[in-house]
Amino acid sequence: MRGALLVAGTASDAGKSVLTAGICRWLARQGVRVAPFKAQNMSLNSWVTADGAEIGRAQVMQAAAAGVEPEAAMNPVLLKPGAGHRSQVVLRGRPVAEAGALDYRELKGRLFAEVLASLADLRSRFDVVVCEGAGSPAEINLRATDIANLGLARAAGLPTIVVGDIDRGGVFAAMYGTLALLEPADQALVAGFVVNKFRGERALLEPGLEMLRALTGRPTLGVLPWRDGLGLDVEDSLGLPAPGETRGDPDGALRVAAVRLPFLSNFTDLDALAAEPGVAVRYADRPEDLDTADLVVLPGTRSTVADLGWLRRRGLDGALARRAAAGRPVLGVCGGYQMLAATIVDEVESGAGRVDGLSLLPVTVRFAATKTLGRPSGAAYGQPVLGYEIHHGVATAHGGEPFLDGCRNGAVWGTTWHGALENDGFRRAFLADVAARAGSPWRPRGEVSFAAVRQRRLDVLGDLVAEHLDTGALLALLAGGPPAGLPFVPPGAPPNAAATFVTPDRRPALAGPASGAAPTPEADHSGGSLPDQGSRP
C-alpha cells in the first residue's frame, strides 16, 4: 500500500493529533510502515530528535504510535511563541528566524517549498504518511498563504477527513460550516467527517449523521467515544489543565504543585509524575497553592524573564522563598531553573539585559544566541538518567551540590534537562527524597514503567480507530485518493481566497535568524495561539 491523507479539524484541539496517532497505530498493527507529518505546528511543547533537531512533541507521540523514530521531516516548520508577540521559527529542527504576523506571511511562501520537500521525502520512504492539519482549514482570512491544511492537500493531492469535537457542542454546524467555507477545488478533497469525544447513545446521533450526509454528500467515517485519562502529549494550551485542576491520583499522599506559567513549555515533564501511584499533580497560579504542596515544580518556559515578572506580580516569588527557607522541596526545569538563579543576563530572548533571579540557587544564567539542542545522559540518586535539552540560557553554578547538569542547594533542585522524570528509577528515588523532606507518608508503590504507560495509551487510540472508524473507507482513501464527483456545498470561499503560491521547485535559503514581531493569533492558528503577557496561554 502507498498513500497519504490529511486529518483536518473544525478547530484547534478538535482531536486531530490523537486521531492521527490512532490511525498511525492501527496501520502499524497491520504491518504498514507509516509516518506522521505536520507541516506547521505552533507549540511550546517540543522534543529533540536523535540527530539534534527540534520538533513538536505531538509528532513524537505520533511517531511512537507508528513505531518509528521521530525526525525533523515529520514537522518541518515549528513556531514557538514568546513574549512581545514574537515567535521563533524552527525549520527542519533548527531556528532560522524571529517573525511577526506580516513577516511570517511573507516567509510562508519560502517555507512551503521545504514543507513539500519534507512530505515528498517521507512518502518516498514510508508506505503511508498521515498528515495532521493545523487549526481549521476554514480560516478564510489565511487561506491564501495556507501551508498546513488545504493548501498542503491541494499541492500534494491529499484526500482529507475533517474531525469535529462533539463535546464542545455544535459539531454539525462546525463540520458543515467548515466544508461550506471552502472553495470548490478544496471541497473536492474533503471525503468525510469524524465525530470525536462522543458520550451518549449512538442511536440518538444517527439522524444528524444522515442529515449531514444528505446536506454535504459526504459520510461520517466514524464516531469516536469519549475516553478520559489518556494523558497524551498535547501540543497547545487548549489541552493543558486549568489552574486548580488535578492530574494523577486526586487523593494522592504526595502533592505536587506545577506553576502554571503564561508561556509554559514542555509541560509533558509533569506527565510522568501524574502517572506515579499516589501522586497528585495540580497546576497552580496562587501563593497558597504552593504553600500546601509537598513539591513545587517550576517548569520550562519560552519567555524566562517575562514569566519571572509574572511570577513576582502574583506573589509566587515570596511563596517560593518561604519554601526554600523552610527546607521544603522546589524543582526548577530549564526556564524554571533559570528563574531560580541569582542573576540572569538576557540580551537574546527578551533583550532585558541583567535581571535579578529568585536567588534560590547559586547560579548565573547568560543567554546565548545559539540554541542548545541535545540528548544528554547522566546519573543521579544512583540511577541512570536520559533527557533532552532545548534552551538559549546557559547556567553556571557557583556552589551547591551537582544535580544532573545543574545544581542543588538544600531542598531546591535545578536542571535544564527535560524528560528526566520519565526515567523510572530516578523518578522514584527523587520523589522518595522529596517525600522524606516534606514529611509526606508517600512511598513508591510497584515498578511503574512510564514508557509502558505511554504505549498502553497509544494502544487505546489504535483500538478506538479499529472499533469505531470505517477502516475500509480509510484504506480506500489511502489507495485511491479523493473520491470523484463529490458535490459542492455553497456558498464556498470568497473569491481569491485560495493559495497564491505553490513553489515545490524553489528551495529557500534560510540560514540564520531575522528579527521582528511574531505571528499573532489572527495571523496563524496552527494548533495554538500566542498569549499576551500575563494571560493563560
More confident residue, 471 or 98: 471
Those residues with Cβ within 8 angstroms of residue 58's Cβ, 6 or more apart along the chain or in another chain:
17, 21, 38, 41, 43, 45, 132, 233, 234, 235, 527
Residue 420 is given by DSSP the state G
Q: What is the pLDDT of residues 250-288, one digit of tens each?
A: 889 999 999 999 999 888 899 999 999 999 999 999 999
Judge whether residue 515 has pLDDT over 50: no
pLDDT of residue 100: 76
Instruction: Give the domain 253-441 fold.
Output: Rossmann fold (3.40.50)
pLDDT of residue 235: 57
Q: What is the pLDDT of residues 106-120, one digit of tens each?
A: 888 889 999 999 999
pLDDT of residue 239: 60
Over range 140-146, report the average pLDDT.
Answer: 91
Q: CA of 474: how far to CAs of 314, 447, 515, in Å?
A: 50, 39, 43
Whole-angstrom Cα distance, residue 89 to residue 127?
30
Whole-angstrom Cα distance, residue 406 to residue 419?
14
Over range 178-205, report the average pLDDT.
Answer: 96
Catalogue the active-site residues.
334, 418
pTM, two decimal places: 0.89
For the CA atoms of 210, 212, 215, 218, what is the dihedral angle to 10 degrees? -90
Q: Which residue spans of the chain are classified as CATH 3.40.50.300?
A: 3-231+457-480
Q: Which residue spans of the chain are classified as CATH 3.40.50.880?
A: 253-441
Q: How confident is the model at residue 240 (pLDDT cuts 50, 70, 90)?
A: low
Average pLDDT of the chain, as a whole number:
90
pLDDT of residue 408: 98
Whole-angstrom Cα distance, residue 23 to residue 258?
32
Strands 406-409 and 401-403, bridge-based pairing: antiparallel
356 burial class (0-12, 13-18, 19+ CB within 10 angstroms)? exposed
pLDDT of residue 245: 81
pLDDT of residue 528: 33
Query: Are the CB atoms for 328 and 334 separated by under 8 Å?
Result: no
Q: Which three cell numbers stand for residue 509?
A: 535559503
Q: Which of 117, 125, 127, 118 is nearest to 4 (CA)?
A: 127
φ/ψ of 164, rounded to 5, equals -125, 145
Residue type, 256: V
* Domain 3-231+457-480 bears CATH identifier 3.40.50.300: yes
Q: How confident is the model at residue 363 (pLDDT cuts 50, 70, 90)?
A: very high
